[in-house]
Structure 1
Amino acid sequence: MPSRERLRALLETDRFQQFIIAVIVINAATLGLETSAATVERYGTALTAVDHLALYIFVVELAARLYAYGWRFFRNPWNLFDAAIVTVSLLPTAGGLSVLRALRILRALRLISVVPSLRRVVTALLTAMPGMSSIVLLLALVLYVTAVMGTKLYHVTAPEYFGDLPTSLFTLFQMMTGDAWSDITREVMAVHPSAWVFFVVFMLVCTFVVLNLFIAVVVSAMEEEHAEESVQATEDLGRAVLTELATLRAEVRELRDRVPVTPNGGPGPAVKDTPGVVGNGARKPATRGAAGRRRGSASGQRE
């Protein structure tokens, strides 16, 4: 087996993937510990050593994958994602670029490309983006209409919430998330008792309709992703079965070529047992009748 194929087989083993996952988790934990001043004071050297070791492992792994897959490495978007994260980690962090030290935590995002379940979720989200764009447009339209109405109706009553259009947009977005929406509503209702109609309709439309559409689109995309994986698994199984059938046919053809044939193309005559000889050439024991006949003929000759 060529060296590239051996390296590719090694990179695709479960043990190697588990090792990379462990390195990512340990590196993420050390980067989190670096946020504690007391921990850095006591174990700063060890944390830095672990961080550099993890970075070296990621660089070696990336170089190995680049060598093993060749140009096919750039056809996989997850490989490009990993390469971008490792490249950011290699940038200098001294002087004006010291802010890039905070970007080292992006290495934890490599779990997305390593863990298959996380990769499926992210793929489903990216697949759902075209469908979600229409929902975002609908939500933005509802927010804009209600913000204009809220500004014209309640800018005098609650100027801190509906004083102008940007403030009203932020207030309605805050209410849509469920943050203190009842407090805002009660403050306005103290002056306008019928304001509950405006706010209840807004909450029903945004929270219970539009936001649930996001969930529906994402779930539909995940189902489609699962269906595509099932089809791919079925195709792989079919190819494996066809390969096995081809191997069996070759073995049957080889066995058939070993069987002797007659000139007319049929199988050769079966070997018949001769008297006193068994099929494997061993001598048969004399039967009782044959022994009696020999004794009778010997007596007749003496007479």
Structure 2
Amino acid sequence: MKHVEAARLRVKAVVEAKWFTTTVLVVIISNALILGVEAQLDGGPVEEVLRQVDHVMLWIFVLELAARMFALGRRFFRDPWSWFDLVVVGIALIPASGSLGALRALRILRALRVIDAVPSMKRVVSGLVAAIPGLGSVGALLVLVMYVSAVIATELFKTAAPEYFGDLGTTAFSLFQVMTGEAWPDMAATVRETVPGAWIFFVLFILIVSFAVLNLFIAVIVSGMESIEADIQVLDKEQDEAEAEILTELRAIRAELAELRARESTNAA
């Protein structure tokens, strides 16, 4: 058992070393570039060589995950990012032949492991995940506004511009284009030929959806990232306080040892 623990500590030191994480990051980026070049080729010896290199890199990822699992033990499975790495590499290990040939395109998902390897990107994604509950509420509000607007626009403009507002589905797609700022002047010009006051609807819709509701998405995401940054600052502060407390205790121990040595010297004299 002691030998296993000693080996685990040695593997953990390697896995957490700066050179190891940098090497894994370089392999991830190189693998993504190779997959991109391979996607451009259509057979030939070069593609076969790249495919062999891809297999070697895949087994490097497998060995890296195995080393992390051995070093961290049960803690490995408590980290959501570890599960993310397992899923991404596991998909790449599925034989991509026959009916599963489409899975070959999913090999590029391994490039997403850069998120786990780069702390700043990891914090950004963590902020997005933290913002999901708020994004759900804003998304529900957007769907509600879009539905109400689609019903109104269909009732008002289906005769004037049936190609844009002929039915509820067509209207919803047209309003989605308006929301993104794409081709809405053409729609408005077509409708205004029959309904001169249609500009009021388009102006109100753009103000409500594009300038208000969509900006709520940005606000929620920023709030989520700020909460993550605040948590990180709290953790850093706690860590600094713990380190300062340890240093204070070490200094006190040193002072006591120095005092004891001084007493022993005095008694000896």
Same fold per TM (> 0.5)?
yes
State which structure, 1 or 2, has the greater radius of gyration over its C-alpha atoms.
Answer: 1
Alpha-carbon offset, residue 105 of structure 1: 0.6
Task: Return 78-87 or 8-17, whichever deviates more.
Answer: 8-17
Residue 191 of structure 2 corresponds to 188
Q: After the TM superposition, which segments of 4 or more aligned residues of structure 1 sit over 3 Å from their partners?
A: none
What is the distance in 2 between the residues matched to 1:70 and 1:42? Answer: 42
Cα deviation digits, residues 100-124 of structure 1 (max 9, x gap):
1011010011111111111101110
State the one-letter code of the partner of 1:149: I
What is the distance in 2 between the residues matched to 1:164 and 1:58? Answer: 51
Alpha-carbon offset, residue 139 of structure 1: 0.9
Q: Per chain length, whose mean CA-contact separation is higher, i.e. which structure has more relative contact order (CA < 8 Å, sep 6+)? A: 2
What is the distance in 1 between the residues matched to 2:106 and 2:89? Answer: 10
What is the distance in 1 between the residues matched to 2:187 and 2:109? Answer: 38
State which of 29, 38, 47 in structure 1 corresponds to 2:33. Answer: 29
State the one-letter code of the partner of 1:4: R
Secondary structure of 1:260's counterpart equals: helix
> Do structure 1's residue 260 and structure 2's residue 263 form an aligned pair?
yes
Residue 148 of structure 1 corresponds to 151
State which of 189, 202, 205 in structure 1 corresponds to 2:208. Answer: 205
Alpha-carbon offset, residue 43 of structure 1: 1.2
What is the distance in 1 between the residues matched to 2:183 and 2:264? Answer: 93
Unaligned runs of 5+ in 2: none
Residue 120 of structure 2 corresponds to 117
What is the distance in 1 between the residues matched to 2:210 and 2:8? Answer: 54
What is the distance in 2 between the residues matched to 1:148 and 1:212? Answer: 23
Alpha-carbon offset, residue 15 of structure 1: 1.6
What is the distance in 2 between the residues matched to 1:208 and 1:41? Answer: 52
Counting only pairs closer than 5 Å after superposition, residues 140-289 of structure 1 correspond to structure 2 as 140-260=143-263
RMSD: 1.8
* Identity percentage of aligned residues: 45
Q: TM (normalized to structure 2)?
A: 0.94
Q: TM (normalized to structure 1)?
A: 0.84
State which of 3, 9, 13 in structure 2 corresponds to 1:9. Answer: 13
Residue 111 of structure 2 corresponds to 108
Residue 83 of structure 1 corresponds to 86
Higher helix share: 2
Is the 2:41–2:47 contact (alpha carbons within 8 Å) kept by the matching residues of 1? no
Count the aligned residue pairs.
265
